Amino acid sequence: MAHEPVQDSDPTIGRLVSDASRDVSNLIRNEIRLAKSEIRVSARTGGVGVGLLAAAAFFAMMALIMLSVAIAYFINWNGKGLSLHWAFLIVFGCYLLVTAVLGFVGIRKVKRVRAPEKAIAQAGEAKQILRRG
């Protein structure tokens, strides 16, 4: 059996190791970029949920203090409408309903925050490939 002579165009072991190292480095950089992108999307969704919860708290406090007085007096209509105690109770119930809806939507948004699943899966695949290689 005769071996073919090595051509000048054939890659050397050093070059192959260098190329493999560069490719692994690029793969890791791309995995990190993907993870950052997924985390950014999840953080934005979580931020919206937290913002909605903060809005719910703000409306619960300010509405109960400021608007409830004015609306209750409107319902009372200078003594010609409902009694003041019933008027204040009706206003309180309405604002409590608004607070509950905002809180429910906010909690649903916060629960949608997820881990960067694609990046984790691809990192696992890369780990398996590196173990075999």
Count of beta carbons in the 10 Å neighbourhood of residue 72? 20
pLDDT in tens, 49-96: 999 999 999 988 887 788 778 888 899 998 898 999 999 899 889 889
Looking at residues 2-21, what average pLDDT do you find? 74
> Does pLDDT of 2 surpass 60?
no
pLDDT in tens, 17-49: 888 889 888 988 998 998 888 888 888 888 889
Measured in degrees and rounded to the nearest 5, phi and psi for residue 52 equal -65, -40
Q: How far apart are CA 17 and CA 23, in angstroms?
A: 10
Looking at residues 107-129, what average pLDDT do you find? 85
In the chain, how many H helices and how many E strands?
4, 0
Per-residue buried b or exposed e for 36-66, using 16+ beta carbons within 10 Å of the residue's own CB:
eebeeebeebbebbeebbeebeebbeebbee
Tokens matching residue 126: 């890369």
Domain boundaries, the chain: 18-132
